[in-house]
Amino acid sequence: MRIVRSRDMGFCFGVRRAVDMMKEAATEGREVTTLGMVVHNPQVVQQLEKVGIYNNEHRTTEGVATDTVAITAHGVGEDMIDEIKREGHQVIDTTCQFVVRSQRAAKHLAEAGFTVIIFGDPEHPEVKGVMGWTKGRGIVVPSEDLEGLPPVLPSKVGVISQTTHTPERFARFVGNLMTARIDQITDLRVVNVLCNATTSQQAATRDLASEVDLMIVVGGHNSANTRHLAELSRANGVTTYHVETAAELEDAWFDGFETIGVTAGASTPDFSIDEVVRRIEAIGHIN
């Protein structure tokens, strides 16, 4: 078997920055509680817990016992920032720069009187956080077919996307919105807040999927951007498996395949990718 790694995969700038900020706090001897997972990768979270960086999975300050609170790369709503300050916690803000851009866009649109439509997963922490900047004027719509969109819209509508969506999906969403509701909308503003790093990884995955017989996508099962990479690969007609760790790989998956592609989401650390590659190499040697 031949293994080909994607030209662009693994930790993006925003994730690496968040993890580095947590590690720096740990070297200073500070104990920190993060409001949710720093990044959507359990292995990274486990590593940080060993050095005093604890995860509050409820993403609230309730029960927080540390002096320092960290805002994750996914960001939080404006009210949560005010709450952290009121309670007197020191703050480490690791919000990704693209998420910050999305938050600002949501806030500016809402202040200008627009209803803000967010194309994204309503349960994703990034989307929940961005909703917290819409001043109650936000609507989350999870799919391109506009399911969940109210039957009647205000005349002024602003549209943004979860930063990890593909450009193709966002374009389809906007096109469907225009086709279905152009009679209701007199002022439409579309703000592109898609993450450049994620878009680059998606393009690299698409290219690699066209060159290999089998794709392995490495990353947290709860990582949206990793799931999107697997979706892109499958859309290319390539047999694709999404794994979080090397232990999930099964020997039978590789029977009859010669060229194996490996890619990874933006929250996947290098050590996880390397472990998966070593395991594939071992399987190939055995076969």
pLDDT at 40 over 60: yes
Identify whether 87 is a catalytic site residue: no
pLDDT of residue 286: 55
Write the pLDDT tens digit of every residue in 201-226.
Answer: 999 999 999 999 999 999 999 898 99
Whether residue 285 is predicted with pLDDT greater than 80 in this model: the reply is no
pLDDT on residue 191: 98
Question: Which ranges of the chain does DSSP label H, i.e. alpha helix?
Answer: 13-27, 42-49, 78-86, 97-111, 125-131, 167-181, 196-209, 224-235, 270-286
Residue 259: pLDDT above 70? yes
Average pLDDT over the chain reads: 94
Note the pLDDT tens digit of each residue in 136-192.
Answer: 999 999 999 999 999 999 999 999 999 999 999 999 999 999 999 999 999 999 999
Do residues 287 and 255 make contact, with C-beta atoms less than 8 angstroms apart?
Answer: yes
Whole-number percent of the chain with pLDDT over 90:
83
Per annotation, catalytic residue among 49, 83, 123, 126: 126
DSSP letter at 151? S
How many Å apart are CA 187 and CA 185, to the nearest integer?
A: 6
**Integer Cα distance of 194 and 230 in angstroms:** 18
pLDDT of amino acid 106? 98
pLDDT at residue 287 is higher than 80: no
CA atoms within 13 A on the CB side of 118: 32
Query: What pLDDT was estimated at residue 59?
Result: 80
pLDDT in tens, 47-102: 999 999 999 888 888 888 899 999 999 999 999 998 998 889 999 999 999 999 99
79, 57 Cβ separation under 8 angstroms: no
> Token pair for residue 193?
């807040």
